[in-house]
Chains A and B, each alone.
Chain A
Amino acid sequence: MMVDIEVDDLELCRVYEIRCDGILGQPTNASLLHGVGWYTRNANPE
């Protein structure tokens, strides 16, 4: 299962903290175990 996020004004050499605390599993409505990640964006896909 994948979710795409579009972000305006993307800048490089930044850390993006993405928190998904409210996202629930299907069909059990399970909570995420942690639901957070920190992505280091140095380059954009070509």
Chain B
Amino acid sequence: MVMLLTLSLLVAPQEPASPGPVTKQPKPDEATYVEIVDVALPEHVVLEVGGFVEFEGAMYVATRRGEVWRIEDASGKQPKATLWAEGLMEPLGLIAKDGWLYCSQRGELSRMRDKSGDGRMDDLETFAAGWPISGNYHEYCFGPSIAGDGSFWLTLNKPFGGEPFGRAPWRGWAIRIPADGGSFEPVCAGLRSPCGIGTAPDGVVWFTDNQGEWCANSKFTPMEVGDFHGHPWGIDSCKLPESKVEYPGEVPSGLRMAEAAKTIPNFTLPAVWIPYDKCGRSPGGFVWDTAGNFPPFEGQVFCGDQYSSEVFRMSLERVAGRWQGACYPFRRGLKSGITRVMWGKQGTLWCGLTNRGWGSLGGSEHGLQRLVWRGVTPFELREITATKKGFRLAFTQPVNAASILPPGFAVKSWTYDHHKAYGCPPATPARTPPRRRRSRPGA
């Protein structure tokens, strides 16, 4: 495929480019702009983070070991951790609502509180239950996240490997629980390993999924009732009367992604493909920066990666009625894989860490760290948006017009195949050097 690039600067009137060779400054470092702060805790406090929330002046951390820790002064020099609850089944989410803490367990959505005020959970209720598990180790239950209508959403991992007690329905599904609990509706099918679940500012629930079979690449996608996200593992459940998803039929392996989108009923393309090992590997939890905590990137999404121990960012736009956008590196170098992120009251980004059984970069197996904006704006590619004939690139600072020359500026593209094999290398790759540049003032 041959592509012709035309570059045009959309700028306020700027200084003319200086004559002669351009002297490039040394490559900047992420740490100049974003500090990683570790939370030092006693050795016996093992925070394999499944979920966390700030609630009534403290941080509560649910762990994969089935505990909930209450941490006072988590941002201070001497945080104090006390065991608030234990004996839960691998909670992988934690939120607060109306005086209760809600967490997923494998087979139910629970809510908990400390009625006596003695610093320990003493009241646990089953808020909703009924989705079966086969006994496979990988049948994680992620969430909840509360949608704009007040309903609770969970994502159910499909099993990896043997199912000791037979196949269970609704695996690889998203389910919705009404605001007053008690029941659930299976609303989206075709998920694989949807570790991240969160609600956008407009109330729509999104998820991240991890590359694997029938999931060509990791991805970030909004959920609407009736969506089929591509993995056929659980589609027989579409035939059950409770299903909100039309049975998509037999899913052929090997369709090019555009063809899959055209031919498979309700097949939902992601808003953002997150290229494997280019921008993380195993995306987890995410948050929107609606408060401008990281000012140049206000409005964007910050996502933790469970393998690469980095936080990357994403920008979104609605084009022709659907969401799409881009992902970008942000901050690498955390000490373990990131499952969950959340904004702290001081505008710092809390990162909940764990890698047991999964592996990750970094030298630790678990913990809590936070990202602190240092107040200096980097020169950075802030956002890519689509135009009719190409793309618009927005930078955080003015650009030296003389520097927009090949080969320092390159575009390449690819697609994916929707198939049974694990992941998908870039299909039909195309590389295009820029051929022409045109500058003009004005925005």
Task: Give A residues with C-beta under 8 Å from B.
Answer: 1-46
Contacts and interface: CB of A to CB of B under 8 A. Distances in A.
B407 A34 contact: no
Contacts of B379: 25, 30-33
Instruction: For chain B, give the interface size range.
Output: 35 or more
Contacts of A28: 25
A40 B413 contact: no
A44 B330 CA distance: 27
Contact of B411 (A18, A31, A43): A18
Contacts of B386: 39, 41, 43-45
A33 B27 CA distance: 7
B26 A1 contact: no
Given A24-B399, A33-B30, A5 B329 contact: no
A36 B319 contact: no
Interface stretch (B139-147, B268-276, B344-352): B268-276
Nearest to B14: A26
A14 to B, nearest CB: 5
Interface in B375-431: 378-381, 383-384, 386-401, 403-416, 426
18 contacts: A3-B8, A5-B390, A5-B393, A8-B3, A9-B2, A11-B258, A11-B415, A13-B415, A15-B275, A16-B412, A20-B393, A23-B399, A32-B395, A37-B326, A37-B381, A42-B271, A43-B322, A46-B320
B320 A45 contact: yes
Given A7-B389, A13-B261, A20-B409, A36 B329 contact: yes
Given A3-B404, A31-B379, A33-B379, 20 more contacts: A3-B9, A3-B399, A4-B10, A5-B7, A6-B7, A7-B389, A14-B414, A16-B391, A17-B278, A18-B393, A22-B407, A22-B409, A23-B400, A25-B398, A30-B379, A32-B380, A33-B28, A40-B273, A43-B321, A45-B386
A34 B325 CA distance: 17
A19 B410 CA distance: 5
Contacts of A11: 1, 258, 413, 415
Interface of B: 1-12, 14-15, 22-28, 30, 33, 256-258, 261, 269-275, 278-279, 319-322, 324-330, 378-381, 383-384, 386-401, 403-416, 426, 432, 434, 443
Which of B270, B327, B443 has the most chain A CB atoms closer than 10 A to its own CB?
B327
Contact of A13 (B12, B257, B390): B257
A1 B395 contact: yes
B389 A26 contact: no
Nearest to B431: A17
Given A10-B390, A18-B391, A29 B400 contact: yes
Contacts of B406: 22
Contacts of B410: 18-19, 21
A16 B16 CA distance: 30
Contact of A3 (B3, B7, B320): B7
Nearest to B440: A4
A15 to B, nearest CB: 5
Most buried by B among A10, A37, A45: A37
Contacts of B258: 11-13
A40 B399 contact: no
B408 A8 contact: no
